[in-house]
Amino acid sequence: MIKAWSYIEEYKGLRKKILKSIDRTLKSGQIFFGKELQKFEKRFIKENNLKYGVAVGSGTDALYIALLGLGIKPGDEIITVSNTAIPTISAIRSCGAKVRFADIRSDYLINTDNIEKYISKNTKAIIPVHLYGQACDMEKICKIAKKYKLKIIEDCAQAQGAKFKNKYVGTFGDAGCFSFYPTKILGAYGDGGFISTNSMKLCKKIKRIRFYGIEQSDKKNKFKNKYYANEHGINSRIAEIQFSILNLKLPKVNTWIQQRRKLAKLYSQELKNTFLKLPFEKRNCKHVFHLYVVYHPKRDLIIKKLKKYNIQININYPFPIHKMKAYKNMVYKKRDSLPITEKMSKGIFSLPLYPKLKNHELLRVSGVLNRILKQI
């Protein structure tokens, strides 16, 4: 079986170091907010050329806390895309805010030419989703946000290390939100997230929100550090053992991204003569290929045939958010139609791609796919 994603080979190579690190961390007596967290936050900020940053419980928490920190409240409107993972929208709705869905381009990213038509007096922010590992056009988004005095919260869950005009994602907006879910570019063996910002004030506020609203830096009163909330907050901590794992894996991220890019290039070479719509690296961008997403109108038939060869395929994502029962009432104006989003959702699928995928496995996938495409 060639899996769509697997961490097993990665873990085998790191197992001894991971177990040793976990043992050392547990012996330290610090379960939360210890040296591993401090070390990771500093290194992640440096690696991604960020100004400030705070680790939180998950990528979803990162979005939710960033929205809270920026003052998003019930009745506010946020512009984003429907072609995204559920957490993007879940975080917005958890704040009580409304969503205005903008359509995408054929590259699966927000169509920046259409953003302004969705702006109303209630619009407070834009969430560009750097989907599949490629950055949105942040130059245009920043211009629009400046013109209308809107906040920008970058959804970087799938794009750690990606660049637009030689700048890392997560450095353009008021906040950048990352995920350490196991499948991501940098994955924990559990969950985790990170919020980047250029504002010290927002950074301090985010730190309070992630721990019940408590100001942990109050050195005058140690009891106030633990038992006094300055504002409403939540529990969004990560255990030290996860940071001990992330600290081991972080130095390997650039090598893993290079390998993802090599594998993506090989796929593109092997599939260039098919009728598949292949992913591509946009001008002025660095694509990190969190996913290798292709499009074909006969997707379901192709996947059915691939299963017979023990090749696992994912669909990211088969249902646009606005078509889901939980959110179907959110497209509330006729002009909010999303034809490209709906078309792409019916034909996209993700081929196996992760750093430990072997070349011969990739060539088997592409070879089988070539044969299937000639038959249909």
* Of residues 191, 169, 168, 165, the one with CA closest to residue 180: 191
* Of residues 240, 246, 248, the one with CA closest to residue 36: 240
Q: What is the structure's pLDDT at 275?
A: 95
Higher pLDDT, 217 or 90: 90
Q: Are residues 227 and 147 in the same domain?
A: yes
On the question of pLDDT at 225 being above 70, the answer is: no
pLDDT tens-digit series, residues 116-168: 999 999 999 999 999 999 999 999 999 999 999 999 999 999 999 999 999 99
On the question of pLDDT at 223 being above 60, the answer is: no
Q: Are residues 320 and 333 in the same domain?
A: yes
Per the domain annotation, does 1 fall within a domain? no
For the ranges 50-54, 71-75, 194-198, 334-338, which has the lowest average pLDDT?
A: 334-338
Q: What is the structure's pLDDT at 224?
A: 59
For the chain, how many structural domains are there in total?
2
Q: Are 318 and 345 in contact (CB under 8 A)?
A: yes
Q: Are residues 244 and 264 in the same domain?
A: no
Q: What is the structure's pLDDT at 307?
A: 95
Q: What is the structure's pLDDT at 115?
A: 97
Q: What is the structure's pLDDT at 333?
A: 60
Q: Are residues 192 and 267 in the same domain?
A: no
What predicted TM-score, i.e. pTM, was given to this entire model?
0.96
Which whole number is the average pLDDT over 75-82?
Answer: 96
Environment class of 33 (CB within 10 Å of its CB; exposed 0-12, middle 13-18, buried 19+): middle
Secondary structure of residue 219 in the 3-state scheme: coil
On the question of pLDDT at 6 being above 70, the answer is: yes
Q: Are residues 29 and 129 in the same domain?
A: yes
In the chain, the amino acid numbered 66 is: A
Query: Pick from 220, 251, 282: which residue ends a domain?
Result: 251
Q: Are residues 152 and 266 in the same domain?
A: no
Per the domain annotation, does 3 fall within a domain? no
Task: Indicate the helix (H) or strand (E) that contains 225.
Answer: helix 222-227
Q: Are residues 59 and 192 in the same domain?
A: yes
Return all residues near 322 (Cβ < 8 A) that are at least 6 apart. 82, 101, 328, 330, 331, 338, 341
Lookup: tokens for 179:
């995920």
Secondary structure of residue 211 in the 3-state scheme: strand
pLDDT tens-digit series, residues 287-330: 999 999 999 999 999 999 999 999 999 999 999 999 999 987 77
**Residue 219's pLDDT band (cuts 50, 70, 90):** low
**Residue 226's pLDDT band (cuts 50, 70, 90):** confident
On the question of pLDDT at 274 being above 60, the answer is: yes
Lookup: tokens for 209:
């929100």
Which whole number is the average pLDDT over 247-254?
Answer: 98
Q: Are residues 54 and 196 in the same domain?
A: yes
On the question of pLDDT at 332 being above 70, the answer is: no
On the question of pLDDT at 218 being above 90, the answer is: no
Which whole number is the average pLDDT over 67-95?
Answer: 97
For the ranges 21-25, 33-37, 214-218, which has the lowest average pLDDT?
A: 214-218
Q: What is the structure's pLDDT at 150?
A: 98
Instruction: Classify each residue of 307-339 as buried b or exposed e, where b means 16 or more C-beta atoms within 10 Å of its C-beta.
Output: eeeebbbbbbbeebbbeeeebeebbeeeebebe
Q: How many CB atoms lie within 10 A of CB 98?
A: 17
**Residue 76's pLDDT band (cuts 50, 70, 90):** very high
Q: Are residues 256 and 360 in the same domain?
A: yes
Q: Are residues 276 and 199 in the same domain?
A: no
| Residue 285 DSSP one-character state | E
CATH code, 283: 3.90.1150.10
Q: Are residues 186 and 44 in the same domain?
A: yes
Q: Give residue 27's domain range.
A: 8-102+109-251
